[in-house]
Amino acid sequence: MNEKEFLEHWNQEIPMHDAWGDFVTSTICKHLKTNGKDLSSFLKQSPEHRIKDTTSLLDKAFYRTNKNYENPYEEIEDKVGCRFVVLLIEQIEEISDVIVNEESWDHKECRHFYSEREKEPLLFTYQSVHYVVRSKTEFIHNDVLIHPGTPCEIQIRTLLQHAYAELTHDAVYKAKTLVQPEVHRTVAKSMALIETTDDFFSDVNSRLIFDVSGEFDFQEKLDSLYKEYVGFESASAQKSSIVIFDEFRDLIDEDLLRKVERFIRKECYLSDVIRGGVGENPFYKQSVIIFLLYMVKKKKHRLINGWPLNYRILENLAMVVGVSLDHD
Partner 1 sequence: MNIVNLQVQRIVIHQIHQRDEDGKKVTPSRGTEFIRFDAEAMNTFKSRFINAIGAESKAVPMSIVNQESTDLPPMVDMLSECGDEDFISLSYDVANKLADAQQRKNLQGGIVVVFGGLYGATPKKFVGIMKAEIHSAYGKKVDDLTSEITLKYIEEALLTPATKLYKTAAFFEKSTTPEGDDLNSKWDVLVSDSQISQAEGKAAALYFYSSFLGCGYPETCARTTKQFYDATCEFLNDIDVSEEKRNDLHNALVSYLKHENSDVVNPLEFSSRYFDVETRDSYSEFLEDKEIPNTAFTKDIEFISGKLKTRKLSFSKDVKLIAPSQVFKELVDIQSINVNDAGEAVKWTKIIVKDEIVAQE
Dihedral (Cα; 21, 24, 28, 30), 10-degree rounding: 90
Q: Which amino acid, residue 29?
A: C
Smallest Cα–Cα separation from 92: which of 24, 40, 162? 162
If the CB atoms of residues 207 and 249 are measured against partner 1, the closer one turns out to be 249
328 binds partner 1 (CB under 8 A): yes
If the CB atoms of residues 247 and 267 are measured against partner 1, the closer one turns out to be 267
If the CB atoms of residues 50 and 300 are measured against partner 1, the closer one turns out to be 300
If the CB atoms of residues 7 and 323 are measured against partner 1, the closer one turns out to be 323
Give the separation between CA 147 and CA 138, rounded to whole angstroms: 5
268 binds partner 1 (CB under 8 A): yes
Q: Give residues with Cβ within 8 angstroms of 83, minimum separation 6.
A: 45, 47, 154, 155, 156, 157, 162
Smallest distance, Å, CB 294 to partner 1?
11
325 binds partner 1 (CB under 8 A): yes
Q: Give residues with Cβ within 8 angstroms of 273, minimum separation 6.
A: 293, 320, 321
50 binds partner 1 (CB under 8 A): no
Among 26, 202, 224, 316, contact with partner 1 (rule: CB under 8 A): 316
Determine the interface stretch with partner 1 among 154-162, 181-189, 213-221, 292-300 (rule: CB under 8 A): 292-300
Q: How many CB atoms lie within 10 A of CB 184?
A: 13
DSSP designation for 286 = B
Contact set for partner 1, span 154-173 (CB under 8 A): none
Q: How many CB atoms lie within 10 A of CB 247?
A: 16
Determine the interface stretch with partner 1 among 47-55, 140-148, 193-201, 299-307 (rule: CB under 8 A): 299-307
User: What Rg do the C-alpha atoms of the chain give, in angstroms?
Assistant: 28
Do 128 and 155 contact (CB within 8 A), yes or no? yes
Give the separation between CA 142 and CA 18, rounded to whole angstroms: 10
Q: How many chain residues touch partner 1 (CB under 8 A)? A: 27
253 binds partner 1 (CB under 8 A): no
Q: How many CB atoms lie within 10 A of CB 139?
A: 15
Among 106, 228, 233, 272, contact with partner 1 (rule: CB under 8 A): 272
255 binds partner 1 (CB under 8 A): no
318 binds partner 1 (CB under 8 A): yes
Give the separation between CA 208 and CA 48, rounded to whole angstroms: 31
If the CB atoms of residues 140 and 268 are measured against partner 1, the closer one turns out to be 268
Among 149, 300, 307, 309, contact with partner 1 (rule: CB under 8 A): 300
252 binds partner 1 (CB under 8 A): no
Residues that bind partner 1 (CB under 8 A): 267-270, 272-273, 280, 297-302, 305, 315-316, 318-328
